[in-house]
A and B are shown apart, each in its own frame.
Chain A
Amino acid sequence: MAQTIQTIKQRKGILGALAAVAVAIGLYWSLAVAPPDAYQGDVQRIMYLHLPSILTAYLSYFLVFVGSAMYLWKRERRDDLLAHAAAELGVLFTALTIIEGSIWGKPTWGVWWTWDARLTLTAILLLIYTGYLMLRSLIDDENRAASAAAILGIIGFLDIPLIHMSVYWWRTLHQPPSILRPDKAPWENVHPAMLTALVISFVGFLLIYFYLLSLRYRVGEMRQEIKTLRLERGV
């Protein structure tokens, strides 16, 4: 973990450049190369952003969980910094997902928002991790804030399957998944150009994500350094 973080930190610039290139290619592929959807037309193209954003958000929440558990176990500041950075980005990407979904939902479903299971789950994730960030900001003592946040990071993640189950039993109206279907392999029911666009776009999102994560992580480190310097100089 620490090794990966170190490598990513040193190659930040390359990561950013790669992310920009991948996103550009992904956009070109999504907008120009992939054919429009047979039923939905061009509106469907937002899927090339929608799906990568939510997958990235899930990855982020998983990282919050890993960072939190590692922090409670080893008490190393860097794990807490990772969890904090990942939580912020998770909230960002979840919010993006909801906004993209709304833009797609209005022309397709006729409404900006509906209380369908997956939408509800996504909104709840946004609430949980916004609460996580609020908790952090409202505890002054750093070590206490880190421990409290780590507990919430673990419990929030473990709660997701339960929330998932409950809202699914409650109602389901969302598009059945068209890419990850249990009965057919992805390449059988989706136009290959669509799948390529999606994959490139997802790679682009992952690169942006890790670029932002390394920047956010560095900000956390620098805050730490400033605090140490202030203490040393007695400011």
Chain B
Amino acid sequence: MELLTQSYLLLQKDLRLELRRRDSLLTMFFFGTLLLFVFHFSFDVAADKMAEMAPALLWLAFLFTGTLGLAQLFQSERENHCLDALLLSPLDRGALFLAKSGFNLLLMILVELVVMPLFWILFNLSSWNLLPQLFLVTLLGTVGFCVLGTIMSAITLRARARELLLPLVLFPLMIPVLLATIRCMETVLKTGTFNDAAPWLRLLFGFDVIFLTLGVLIFDWVIES
């Protein structure tokens, strides 16, 4: 319980900071939308072809915008030695992990809630009724992305060129999430149900649980580095 209370307080702090400055949220929104335009110019194809590629393209956009958010995740702690102060306080490091991944999750969900419908509008896709199911899959994938991403963001915190390094260590590890989410969304788009996507959903769920638990357990070692 203590863990959750602490996480909630930390999350509140991050949200308050973000609402005042809106650095991450605005850049992520803009970048996500910008990517849709880039996709349009890169793949000038008919709407039905675009519908087939929608899951992959959407997730490319989420991967890049999410990484943008992760790179900024500990920025407020880096300034004025706030991280040292946080670590000096009697705080469970697991709570810091939960708060930070929760914060990035919230940012990404907000971006996804805008970018997904926008994709349907810009590329004239017709399958509006499947959007809630697709969003559900995306949510599972985003949780996995944020928990593993938070750990990776924390270990690259003191590295030189850390914004460049973060995707290098993060993307190879994210391949299960990327594959599972995209294949799952493709199946849902094609069949309209979750029936054939069960193994992918299990994999996604397993990934989320494993790295969420691992993150809470090992963040003690992660953050002191």
Does A associate with B in a complex?
Answer: yes
Closest to A138 in B: B159
Distance between Cα atoms of A152 and B225 in the complex (Å): 12
Q: Which residues of B contact A151 (CB under 8 A)?
A: 151, 155, 218, 221-222, 225
Distance between Cα atoms of A150 and B183 in the complex (Å): 32
A166 touches B203 (CB 8 A): yes
B176 touches A162 (CB 8 A): yes
Quick one: given A128-B173, A148-B225, A156-B173, are A139 and B159 in contact (CB under 8 Å)?
A: yes
B158 touches A144 (CB 8 A): yes
B84 at the A interface (CB under 8 A): no
Q: Which of B29-37, B100-108, B206-214 contacts A (4 or more CB under 8 A)?
A: B206-214
A183 at the B interface (CB under 8 A): no
A173 at the B interface (CB under 8 A): no
A127 touches B172 (CB 8 A): yes
Quick one: given A147-B225, A155-B148, are A163 and B175 in contact (CB under 8 Å)?
A: yes
Distance between Cα atoms of A70 and B112 in the complex (Å): 40
Distance between Cα atoms of A131 and B183 in the complex (Å): 26
B189 at the A interface (CB under 8 A): no
B175 touches A166 (CB 8 A): yes
Pick from A132, A134, A138 the residue with the most CB of B within 10 Å. Answer: A138
Distance between Cα atoms of A132 and B214 in the complex (Å): 19
Chain A interface mostly: helix
Q: Which residues of A contact B114 (CB under 8 A)?
A: none
8 A Cβ contacts from B137-196 to A: 148, 151-152, 155-156, 158-162, 165, 168-169, 171-173, 175-176, 179-180, 183
CB distance from B132 to the nearest CB of A (A): 25
CB distance from B48 to the nearest CB of A (A): 23
Closest to B168 in A: A131
Quick one: given A134-B168, A135-B169, A162-B206, are A167 and B175 in contact (CB under 8 Å)?
A: yes
Q: Which residues of B contact A188 (CB under 8 A)?
A: none
A39 at the B interface (CB under 8 A): no
B117 at the A interface (CB under 8 A): no
- The 8 Å CB contact of B221, one of A134, A140, A147, A159, is A147
Distance between Cα atoms of A169 and B196 in the complex (Å): 12
8 A Cβ contacts from A110-138 to B: 124, 127-128, 130-132, 134-135, 138
Q: Which residues of B contact A163 (CB under 8 A)?
A: 175-176
Quick one: given A124-B172, A135-B165, are A144 and B206 in contact (CB under 8 Å)?
A: no
A166 touches B155 (CB 8 A): no
A166 touches B173 (CB 8 A): no
B200 at the A interface (CB under 8 A): yes
CB distance from B44 to the nearest CB of A (A): 25
CB distance from B213 to the nearest CB of A (A): 11
Distance between Cα atoms of A141 and B221 in the complex (Å): 16
Distance between Cα atoms of A148 and B221 in the complex (Å): 9
- The 8 Å CB contact of A169, one of B161, B199, B225, is B199
B52 at the A interface (CB under 8 A): no
A170 touches B176 (CB 8 A): no
A138 touches B176 (CB 8 A): no
Closest to A72 in B: B221
Distance between Cα atoms of A173 and B224 in the complex (Å): 44
Q: Which residues of A contact B159 (CB under 8 A)?
A: 135, 138-139, 148
Nearest 8 A-B pairs (CB), nearest first? A147-B225, A148-B155, A127-B172, A131-B169, A166-B176, A162-B176, A138-B159, A166-B179
A-to-B contact residues, CB < 8 Å: 72, 124, 127-128, 130-132, 134-135, 138-141, 143-144, 147-148, 150-152, 154-156, 158-159, 162-163, 165-167, 169-170
B-to-A contact residues, CB < 8 Å: 148, 151-152, 155-156, 158-162, 165, 168-169, 171-173, 175-176, 179-180, 183, 199-200, 203, 206-207, 210-211, 214, 218, 221-222, 224-225
Known A-B contacts: A72-B218, A159-B176, A165-B203. Give 7 more (CB < 8 A): A127-B172, A132-B169, A138-B161, A148-B156, A159-B173, A166-B175, A167-B175
